[in-house]
Amino acid sequence: MALLVPAASARTLHALYDFQNVNDGAYPMAGLIKDNAGNLYGTTLEGGTGCTNGGCGTVFKLARDGTKSTLHAFAGGSDGADPQGLVLDQAGNLFGFTAAGGGGGSPCSYGCGTVFEITRNGTEKVLYAFRGGSDGWYPLGAPVRDRKGNLYGVTGKGGCCGTVFRVAPDGREKVLYAFQGHGDGEWPGAVTLAMDSADNFYGTTQSGGAYSYGTVFKLGPDGTETVLYSFTGQSDGGGPYAGVILDAGGNIYGATPYEGDLSCDYGEGCGTVFKIAADGTESTLYTFTDTGANASPMAGLVMDSTGNLYGTTDGFSPGGVFRLSPDGTEKLIYTFTGGSDGEAPYGGLMMDKKGRLYGTNSSGGGGSCNNDFGCGAVFELKK
């Protein structure tokens, strides 16, 4: 469900951490989570000391006092590589996916990905290693965890055109739905599933559907998939890459990085923010028209207590953070410079109970990586 917190007004950015080099991690592509003590947790796609060629990624902790520690550096073998988003249980254990590593044969040259746990003492355990067959491969996004400890997610490939899967606490994996690549959608992206109180799941596919521009789907507890909306690639947008959020009334909100105003970005469109009402009616809440920072939202959204939506834009570099009011007014509340504050926020935002926004930038910051564009940063936006 959408997180309800006090509404926000003007924002001030605080750079919480700049990744310095490949040893402490580099290129954070996913969002952040926060524990009850105020510590932040996240992943970097590369870096760490676990393998060669720039590192295979890390899981990190950023304490309230700014102290950063690496909880695990992936070795690129059976433990996985290229970690994605995280979820935290009540005991302080972390769970996540890696998009590669873990073994598996063809068609996974570098491994088919894993579902992993990192215990409070820092021990990493692979709960499931994808085999690259009907079980799916290339898991993206962050897990959703239910009351019984089952983990749910999507794979971008396998089973024909991607899957929705469950991994039980004992490591058993079950494909709940395999996309067929027709009207039901195909190729879910970095989708973190939304789950309602009746155990239905909601997500998006990048393509497929009635018009081949992607879908918003619902998956019932019995495995029945329903396409709630098929994007047309016109004014409604297309190619949704991230997941959706739900409000208390059952309305669905998300963003598309492409289409919308087709005069933007040489006819490709700069994306939209959309709403699907509980009765299935789709509304385009905002159409991006800027060819600068305020365009192409790749990540999902968060919502405050008054219905304002917040998200990030990758744009045409360096990107920014926007607010969309219930009356349809959109404002870029922060524009990244590409310097010490970072750039290219692919991972989306996390909002705490006080309305503070937290996120990552995949490059920029004060460090110097192989391309000298910076290794990425962690930021906070306060009122």
- Given this model, what pLDDT does residue 352 score? 94
More confident: 218 or 21: 218
Separation of alpha carbons 111 and 120, rounded Å: 26
**Structural domain contains residue 127:** yes
Q: What is the pLDDT of residues 77-90, one digit of tens each?
A: 999 999 999 999 99
Sign of the alpha-carbon torsion through 46, 340, 31, 59: positive
∠ CA(105), CA(141), CA(250), 5° rounding?
Answer: 135
Exposure string over 115-139, b if 16+ CB within 10 A, otherwise e: bbbbeeeeebebbbbbbbeebbbbb
Residue 315 has pLDDT above 60, yes or no: yes
**Structural domain contains residue 86:** yes
**Structural domain contains residue 207:** no
**Structural domain contains residue 101:** yes
Q: How confident is the model at residue 104 (pLDDT cuts 50, 70, 90)?
A: low
* Domain that includes residue 184, residue range: 74-189
Number of domains into which the chain is organized:
1
**Structural domain contains residue 62:** no
Alpha helices in 257-313 (DSSP H): none
End-to-end CA distance of the chain: 23
Mean pLDDT of the chain: 92
Residue 7 has pLDDT above 60, yes or no: no
* Global confidence as pTM: 0.94
- Given this model, what pLDDT does residue 372 score? 63
- Given this model, what pLDDT does residue 51 score? 83
Q: What is the pLDDT of residues 316-373, one digit of tens each?
A: 678 999 999 999 999 999 999 888 889 999 999 999 999 999 999 999 887 777 656 7
- Given this model, what pLDDT does residue 8 score? 41
Separation of alpha carbons 374 and 363, rounded Å: 5
Q: What is the pLDDT of residues 127-174, one digit of tens each?
A: 999 999 899 999 999 999 999 999 999 999 988 899 999 999 999 999
**Structural domain contains residue 316:** no
Residue 9 has pLDDT above 90, yes or no: no
Q: What is the pLDDT of residues 49-76, one digit of tens each?
A: 878 777 899 999 999 999 999 999 999 9
Q: DSSP readout, 310-368?
A: EEEE-TTSS-EEEEE-TTS-EEEEEE--SSTT-B---S-EEE-TT--EEEEESBBSS--
Q: What are phi and psi of 329, to 5 degrees?
A: -75, 125
Q: How confident is the model at residue 3 (pLDDT cuts 50, 70, 90)?
A: very low
**Structural domain contains residue 78:** yes
Give the CATH number of the domain where residue 142 resides.
Answer: 2.120.10.30
**Structural domain contains residue 158:** yes
Best mean pLDDT range from 99-108, 136-145, 372-381: 136-145
What is the pLDDT averaged over residues 204-213? 97
- Given this model, what pLDDT does residue 272 score? 98
- Given this model, what pLDDT does residue 193 score? 98
Separation of alpha carbons 6 and 81, rounded Å: 38
Residue 105 has pLDDT above 80, yes or no: no
